[in-house]
Amino acid sequence: MSRSPFLEEVRAEMRTRHYSIRTEKSYLYWIKSFILFNHKRHPKELANSEIESFLSYLANQRNVSSATQNQALCALMFMYKHILHIEITQLAYQYTRAPKRMPCVLSHHEVQQIFAYLTGRNWLIAAILYGCGLRINEALRLRVKDVNFDNHTLFIFRGKGAKDRYTLLPHCLLDALQQQIQFSLQIHRQDIAQGYGLTSLPPALIRKYQSAAKDAAWQYLFPSSHLGQHPHDEYMCRHHIHETTFRRALRQAVQQSHVTKRVTAHTFRHSFATQLLLNGVDIRTVQELLGHTDLRTTEIYTHVMGSRFAHTLSPADRLQS
User: 165-189 pLDDT, tens per residue?
Assistant: 999 999 999 999 999 999 999 999 9
User: 255-268 pLDDT, tens per residue?
Assistant: 999 999 999 999 99
Contact between 85 and 224 under an 8 Å Cβ cutoff? The reply is no
- Phi/psi of residue 9, nearest 5 degrees: -65, -40
pLDDT of residue 318: 66
Q: Kindly tell me the burial class for residue 275, based on how many C-beta atoms sit within 10 Å of its own C-beta (0-12, 13-18, 19 or more).
A: buried
- Where are the domains positioned within the chain? 5-83, 101-308
On whether the 101-308 domain is CATH 1.10.443.10, my answer is: yes
> Among this protein's residues, is 166 annotated catalytic?
no
Catalytic residue among 25, 32, 82, 160: 160
> Among this protein's residues, is 292 annotated catalytic?
yes
Write the CA distances from 97 to 27, 92, 216, 274, integer angstroms: 20, 15, 45, 25
> Among this protein's residues, is 130 annotated catalytic?
no
Q: Kindly tell me the burial class for residue 273, based on how many C-beta atoms sit within 10 Å of its own C-beta (0-12, 13-18, 19 or more).
A: buried
String of DSSP letters for 42-108: -GGG--HHHHHHHHHHHHHTS---HHHHHHHHHHHHHIIIIIS-----S-S--PPPPP--PPP---H
Q: How confident is the model at residue 307 (pLDDT cuts 50, 70, 90)?
A: low
> Among this protein's residues, is 141 annotated catalytic?
no
Answer yes or no: is pLDDT of 28 > 70: yes
User: 69-94 pLDDT, tens per residue?
Assistant: 999 999 999 999 999 999 998 888 77
Catalytic residue among 11, 135, 238, 239: 135
Q: How confident is the model at residue 58 (pLDDT cuts 50, 70, 90)?
A: very high
* Mean pLDDT confidence for 41-48: 94
Q: How confident is the model at residue 306 (pLDDT cuts 50, 70, 90)?
A: low
* C-alpha torsion angle, residues 263, 268, 269, 270 (rounded to 10): 60
Closest CA to 183 of 152, 129, 224: 224
pLDDT of residue 186: 95
pLDDT of residue 1: 46
DSSP single-letter state for residue 216: G
Rounded CA gap, 133 and 291, in Å?
9
Q: How confident is the model at residue 305 (pLDDT cuts 50, 70, 90)?
A: low
> Among this protein's residues, is 196 annotated catalytic?
no
CATH architecture of structural domain 5-83: Orthogonal Bundle (1.10)
> Among this protein's residues, is 269 annotated catalytic?
yes
Catalytic residue among 39, 269, 270, 296: 269
pTM: predicted TM-score of the whole model, two decimal places? 0.78
On average, the pLDDT of the chain sits at 88
Contact between 90 and 229 under an 8 Å Cβ cutoff? The reply is no
Catalytic residue among 230, 232, 247, 266: 266
User: Helices in the chain by DSSP H: which ranges?
Assistant: 5-16, 21-37, 48-60, 66-78, 108-115, 120-132, 136-140, 174-193, 203-208, 243-257, 265-278, 283-290, 295-305, 315-318
